[in-house]
């Protein structure tokens, strides 16, 4: 695709109309279906299918073997690990048309979905949340939460930079008491979070 400010490997198919942002790269054997919008500086790996009618923000990384179906929306900087699975019908049957029953899945800014994890449709993954490899997400996931297992449960909280700051009961960052909770500083990037009453949020979001 010479002359375009994005790259599509010659083995991939881009249907029309599709919008692809500047700096995005789409690698081998992938297919983008109509009315799909992919933002700037995204990377789509090998053997991916995106669309139709899908919106993907800027800076997303979609690793090999991922299908982003109609009904799924990725905000900015979402990481989809290799072979992770989205769904859009809750109770599919081969012999029943369920196209009008698509349930939405929203993955918010900065979230990570681990390799081979499955996201059951109808759920929202919060910003900067992290889903462990192989998890099956069957509920909404809070911002900054770490979910693992089948069905996926919350086992901790993660910094924006990706460092796990709380795992089960163990605090991994630098903590000091603050009001009724804890103020936790990420040893990697210095971001500060408040952890109180089962809530975890950046200090700057404290009201």
Ligand X SMILES: CC(C)(COP(=O)(O)OP(=O)(O)OC[C@H]1O[C@@H](n2cnc3c(N)ncnc32)[C@H](O)[C@@H]1OP(=O)(O)O)[C@@H](O)C(=O)NCCC(=O)NCCS
- For binding to ligand X (CB under 6 A), which residues are involved? 81, 114-115, 130, 132-134, 148-149, 164, 167
The dihedral built from the CA positions of residue 108, 146, 70 and 66, taken in this order, carries a sign that is positive
CB atoms near residue 73 (< 10 Å): 18
How many whole angstroms separate alpha carbon 118 and alpha carbon 104? 14
DSSP summary character for residue 43:
E
Residue 49 contact partner, candidates Zn ion, ligand X, none, CB within 5 to 8 A by sort of partner: none
Could you say which residues in the range 174-203 bind Zn ion, by CB under 5 A? 186, 188-189, 191
- Encoded one letter per residue, x for contact with Zn ion by CB under 5 A and - for no contact, window 141-180 reads ------------------x-x-x-----------------
Cβ closest to ligand X, residue 160 vs residue 167: 167
Residues 6+ apart with CB under 8 A from 94: none
Could you say which residues in the range 80-119 bind Zn ion, by CB under 5 A? none
How many whole angstroms separate alpha carbon 131 and alpha carbon 115? 9
Cβ closest to ligand X, residue 133 vs residue 192: 133
Least CB distance to ligand X at residue 193 (A): 16
Minimal CA–CA distance to 107: which of 69, 147, 59, 141?
141
Q: Does 130 bind Zn ion (CB under 5 A)?
A: no
Q: Where do contacts with Zn ion occur on this chain (CB under 5 A)?
A: 159, 161, 163, 186, 188-189, 191
């Amino acid at each position: 695709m010479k002359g375009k400010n994005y790259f599509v490997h010659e083995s991939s198919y881009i249907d029309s109309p599709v919008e692809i942002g500047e700096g995005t790269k789409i690698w081998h054997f992938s297919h983008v279906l109509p009315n799909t919008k992919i933002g700037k500086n995204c990377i789509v790996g090998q053997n991916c299918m995106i669309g139709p009618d899908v919106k993907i923000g800027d800076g997303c990384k979609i690793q090999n073997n991922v299908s982003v179906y109609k009904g799924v929306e990725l905000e900015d900087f979402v990481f989809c690990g290799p072979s992770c699975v989205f769904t859009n019908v809750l109770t599919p049957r081969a012999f029943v048309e369920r196209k009008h029953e698509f349930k939405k899945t929203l993955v918010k800014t900065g979230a990570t979905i681990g390799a081979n994890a499955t996201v059951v449709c109808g759920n929202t993954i919060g910003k900067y949340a992290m889903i462990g490899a192989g998890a099956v997400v069957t509920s909404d996931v809070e911002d900054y939460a770490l979910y693992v297992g089948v069905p996926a449960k919350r086992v901790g909280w993660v910094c924006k930079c990706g460092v796990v700051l709380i795992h089960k009961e163990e605090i991994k960052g630098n903590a000091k008491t603050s009001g009724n909770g804890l103020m936790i500083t990420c040893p990697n990037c210095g971001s500060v979070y408040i952890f109180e009453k089962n809530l975890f949020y950046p200090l700057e979001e404290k009201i």
